Structure 1
Amino acid sequence: MTIQAIQEEIVDEFSMFDDWMQRYEYIIELGKTLPLIEEKYKTEENIIKGCQSKVWVHAEEQNGTIVFTADSDAILTKGIIAILIRAFSNQTPEAILEANTNFIDEIGLKEHLSPTRANGLVSMIKQIKMYALAFNAKS
């Protein structure tokens, strides 16, 4: 599936909820499905800078695509990174670099987060794009 198709799926899923309490609950549920990072990757270098809570993201190249794993010590943040990983994991570096993140605005996520969490979201996206840039340079 393309990044855009996955993002459209996410937007459709969020449109089923009437209010933000339901959407927060859904985000927390998504966090429970997150492919967890191995303990050995929970290092300082894998922590996302700019997040209020601790978020670790690890990326590795597999057959020309980047596979992301992550974890967070906060349940809402874990759900947010789960959404991003769903959209960008198992994609090529080029596709990740070319992808937009408009779906975040379409589901209204940024505007319903505290300023520090919204900054953390931007930092997570930036880190995913940095990994893609690094893997793209290697190929």
Structure 2
Amino acid sequence: MSESIKDVQEQIVEDFSTFDDWMDRYRFLIDLGRALPPYPEQFRTDEWRVKGCINRAWLHGEARDGRVHYQASSESEIVAGLIALLLKVYSGRTPREIVDNPPDFLQRIGVWENITSNRINGLNGMIALIRGVAEAELKAA
């Protein structure tokens, strides 16, 4: 990947800054979620289910060629959009890049103040899964 995680996070912050209010940002998130590729049925298991999510969501990660690749899906359109943002930042990165770069952009675009506590729990669950796969790869190396 040519862009660093920091560059991708900056681009997301810039994209969100073009919207004046959170209704427009929600619509943007929903569009991002709708663009996620189909999620493989074989990974719709409890092992890959996002903990803390009221709506069912799954996030699968696996390492290939020294990088971690993620796939995800959610029954909630807004959660799917949040997943799309996380995948844009973290999928295809090395485990070290993932662990060393927290999702600071979420604070900067105002996600934490503008989603429900249930969605915050789910978002934290997604972040934990992403980090967990990367940390397991680092330990295995």
TM-score by length of 1: 0.96
* Equivalent position SS for 2:54: coil
Moved more, 71-80 or 34-43: 34-43
**2:133 alignment partner in structure 1:** 131
**CA separation in 1, counterparts of 2:4 and 2:57?**
25
* Equivalent position SS for 1:67: strand
**1:107 alignment partner in structure 2:** 109
**CA separation in 2, counterparts of 1:112 and 1:121?**
13
* Equivalent position SS for 2:102: coil
Moved more, 19-28 or 36-45: 36-45
**CA separation in 2, counterparts of 1:84 and 1:92?**
15
Percent identical residues: 37
CA shift at 1:122, angstroms? 1.2
**2:57 alignment partner in structure 1:** 55
CA shift at 1:81, angstroms? 0.7
Q: Structure 1: where are the runs of 5+ without partners?
A: none
Root-mean-square deviation (Å): 0.9
Note the 1:1-139 alignment, pairs <5 A. 1-139=3-141
* TM-superposition CA deviations, 1:43-70 (whole Å, max 9, x none): 1110011111111011111211101000
